[in-house]
Amino acid sequence: MQQPTFFIPHGGGPCFFMDDPRGVWTGMETFLRALVSSLPERPKAVLIVSGHWETDGFALTGAAQPSLIYDYYGFPAHTYDLRYDAPGSPDLAARAAKLLQDAELEASVDAARGLDHGVFVPLKVALPDADIPVVEMSVDRNLDPARHLAAGRALTVLRDEGVLILGSGMSFHNMRGYGDPRFATPSQAFDAWLTDAAAQDGPTRARRLAEWEAAPAARLSHPRAEHLLPLMVAAGASEAAGDHISCWRLPSLASASTDAAPAVAPSIIKGDLSMKRLFLAATIGLFTATAGMAADTNPANITPGAYTVEPMHTRVVFSVSHMGFTNWNGDFTGVSGALNLDPGNVAASAVDISIPVASISNTNPTIDAELKGPNWFDAERFPTIRFVSTKVVKTGANKASISGNLTFHGITKPVVLDASFNGAGINPLDHHYTVGFEATATIHRADFGVKTYIPLLSDETKLHISAAFEKAG
């Protein structure tokens, strides 16, 4: 009997396995626990697309016993001991890759890759016995919705073979928007559009989803598409029309939580009595006008003290001019460091940040490798970029000028960051007190000995830093 496809919410980090006194994740967990009972029969295997794995083309986990990747940060210690020992299926991975390749889509099998939290966290709830083989599939880092819809179409045949196809993501994924009442109206507008699009027949749905960026508040709901694209694969694997049948709200006042709006599209195909169903269990932000839910934007209210970088939501973006035609960008992640913050005496504040050079990415692996090499940043010889502040001067109500020393490519030079305070408050997903800042600067890379392709690529390099810090202790 043909299996349906689902787009499921995976929640925030290991959310289902922590204390949840306000019931933030209760409705979502209840849905996941009931998922298997809604199936026409027990699946022979699960193929799940995760928004937390991006590759060139599509990739599938090929390990016979995949490990787990604890790709969440700052959560209770016990959540890093979670186990989900479901077997893999090298045969299914190879078959899925071949189906994608036959559809002229780039695909490969990664025998070393484990299961990230977008996979093992929801499956540990939905399939707690861990006795059904699981294969994870990546999203293509080009983030092309049409390509992901095509991938779903290519994999449809697996449903007839007893494989449950899941997309794991969120229908609202703007980390700055969770809990902010200003996002209430736009998030609801996008959810209404998404619900309507999902309920269309297959061809109409595909056309609309391929143009999702034209939807109301699309980019406010998804600044990047990686958490929405698993929906495209799930949707592409069904041609049936759908109806919106239920939704739930997760209760929270002091913290933001999520709506989940599952849309189900049942259609019985007469003759073989096979069921073609598209289930969409998508999550959007639940917002109220409760002031306490939003980040506090008054810097005078910041809790003073020591902070550490929250690396998952901190990144450094650089931009150079490419022959005057375009601005070419790349970014660094995996940032670490410390902040001592005194809102009552800004001049006493200090920051020390380290950036791993090997984390550089511009979505092109060939160029990434070149940038890490000796002609550019030389990550092997100079593995870390470091900024240490020497002076902080308040320049506005929520702005400051941060002078300091930047060590890059083995050379140290003075640099000034123009910083602005975004907001502070309890992160509703991990319950840590968090402060957020933006900062910009302009440097000349030749000053640091990086002169390759000047002037074809500009010497002037613009930096934009988005930084989240969590209260230490």
Count of positions (residues) in the chain = 473
- Residue 179 has a pLDDT of 65
Q: What is the residue-level pLDDT of the chain in tens, covering all 473 positions?
A: 889 888 888 888 899 999 877 777 787 888 888 888 888 999 999 999 999 999 999 999 999 999 999 988 778 889 999 999 999 999 999 999 999 999 999 999 999 999 999 999 999 999 999 999 999 999 999 999 999 999 999 999 999 999 999 999 988 888 777 667 777 788 888 888 988 888 888 899 999 999 999 999 999 889 899 999 999 999 999 887 554 433 433 332 222 223 333 332 222 221 222 223 344 443 333 332 223 345 788 999 999 999 999 988 899 999 999 999 998 888 998 899 999 999 999 999 999 999 999 999 886 888 889 999 999 999 999 999 999 999 999 999 999 999 999 999 999 999 999 999 999 988 766 678 999 999 999 999 999 999 999 999 999 999 999 999 999 87
Tell me the chain's radius of gyration from C-alpha atoms.
23
**107 and 57 Cβ atoms separated by less than 8 Å:** yes
- Residue 41 has a pLDDT of 94
**423 and 437 Cβ atoms separated by less than 8 Å:** no
- Residue 256 has a pLDDT of 27
- Residue 254 has a pLDDT of 26
- Of 292, 344, 295, the closest CA to residue 468 belongs to 295
Angle at 52 between CA 155 and CA 90, to 5 degrees: 45
Non-local CB neighbours of 435 within 8 Å, separated by 6+ positions: 302, 307, 339, 341, 421, 422, 423, 424, 468, 469, 471
- Residue 284 has a pLDDT of 33
- Residue 429 has a pLDDT of 64
The answer to whether the Cα torsion of 187, 189, 194, 195 is positive or negative is positive
Non-local CB neighbours of 11 within 8 Å, separated by 6+ positions: 25, 28, 29, 121, 122, 258, 283
Which secondary structure element, helix H or strand E, spans residue 215, and what is its range?
A: none
**47 and 105 Cβ atoms separated by less than 8 Å:** no
- Residue 430 has a pLDDT of 67
- Of 468, 130, 155, the closest CA to residue 313 belongs to 468
Q: Report the predicted TM-score, pTM, of the whole model to 2 decimal places.
A: 0.61
As a whole number of angstroms, the distance between CA 35 and CA 381 comes to 51
Non-local CB neighbours of 68 within 8 Å, separated by 6+ positions: 82, 83, 84, 114, 115, 116, 120
Which structural domains are found in the chain, ordered by start?
A: 5-293 (3.40.830.10), 299-471 (2.40.128.110)
**417 and 411 Cβ atoms separated by less than 8 Å:** no
**439 and 419 Cβ atoms separated by less than 8 Å:** yes
- Residue 43 has a pLDDT of 97
- Residue 270 has a pLDDT of 19
As a whole number of angstroms, the distance between CA 257 and CA 359 comes to 31
Fill in the amino acid letter for 418. D
- Residue 241 has a pLDDT of 58
As a whole number of angstroms, the distance between CA 80 and CA 66 comes to 16
Q: Indicate the Cα dihedral angle 392, 396, 398, 401, nearest 10°.
A: -30
**303 and 281 Cβ atoms separated by less than 8 Å:** no
Residue 389, token pair as written in the block = 């502040």
- Of 301, 233, 278, the closest CA to residue 58 belongs to 233
- Residue 426 has a pLDDT of 83
